[in-house]
Amino acid sequence: MFFDPRSDGMKPEPFTHSVYTAIVVPRPIGWISTVGADGVVNLAPFSFFNALTGDPPCVMYCPLGFKPGTTEPKDSLTNAEATGEFVFNLCTYDLREQMNATSAHEPAGVDEMAAAGLAPAPSKNVKPPRVAAAPIALECKYLETVRLPPSSSGSPNNVVIGEVIGIHVDDAVISDGIIDIAKLRPLARLGYLDYATIEPSAVFSMARPG
Ligand SMILES: Cc1cc2nc3c(=O)[nH]c(=O)nc-3n(C[C@H](O)[C@H](O)[C@H](O)COP(=O)(O)O)c2cc1C
């Protein structure tokens, strides 16, 4: 089948649910910690997240739309723009429930890390704390926000880009000089309400040509 999302939307026959998020899969989850101008810690997951470049390392996440019932941007956007900093925390299978809990819409004054029962660990080069239980964290300096065309209902689509200026790796996930994917067990987002993690038996290597 073929469809044009501009005229057909994201749920043409025979789909029963909006299909786009089931098409680009699996997506890594950017579990983003920021602090407000008042110092309150914010933590939220973004599956429109990815690494963009390796040298210098840059990442992006997309705070889309507004806080429910308002025309205010999401705190993860407001905070990164106000303070110039954010942290990517790697969400593992073991942290899936806490990650999900941090997607709840809390008022800006609520420490979302504490509310999800997560301990903070200090960052070195930026103010926002990292999730202590996350085996990898990337401290990021905010670079810019790219404003993409708004949604069909007129709500904003933002891409926040940052440069990684500090990398934490838990020694427990390092084996023989590499990051051991079996120990890491990163969580990935699929479509609908589905998630996946990586089982070692599903991993294979392939040399590049030439
Ligand atoms: C797995 C997962 C992925 C999500 N990905 C996004 C995303 O890419 N963009 C977005 O705007 N919201 C996404 N959300 C919803 C946000 O996490 C939610 O709106 C959150 O409350 C935003 O928090 P904030 O206002 O503290 O920034 C996602 C939620 C979950 C559970």
Domains of the chain plus CATH, in order, are: 31-200 (2.30.110.10)
Asked whether residue 43 carries a pLDDT value surpassing 90, the answer given is yes
Beta-bridge partner residues of 167? 138
Does residue 100's CB lie within 6 angstroms of at least one atom of ligand 1? yes
**Full-model pTM:** 0.97
How far is the CA of 58 from the CAs of 33, 50, 87, 89, 165, in angstroms? Answer: 16, 9, 12, 14, 9
Q: Cα(102)–Cα(13) distance, rounded to whole angstroms? A: 34
User: Which of 57, 78, 58, 51 shows the shortest CA–CA distance to 158?
Assistant: 78
pLDDT at 62: 98
* Ligand 1 binding pocket mutation candidate from 103, 106, 118, 197 (most atoms within 8 A of CB): 103
How many angstroms is it from 210 CA to the middle of ligand 1? 41
Does residue 103's CB lie within 6 angstroms of at least one atom of ligand 1? yes
User: Which of 20, 52, 11, 10 shows the shortest CA–CA distance to 140?
Assistant: 52
pLDDT at 108: 80
Mean pLDDT of the chain: 96
Question: Which of ligand 1's atoms lies nearest the C-alpha of 32?
Answer: 27
pLDDT class of 109 with cuts at 50, 70, 90: confident
* Least trusted range by pLDDT, from 8-17, 55-64, 102-111, 157-166: 102-111
What average pLDDT does this structure show over 15-28?
96
> Tokens 């709500």 appear where?
155
How many angstroms is it from 67 CA to the middle of ligand 1? 10
User: 143-189: per-residue pLDDT in tens?
Assistant: 999 999 999 999 999 999 999 999 999 999 999 999 999 999 999 99
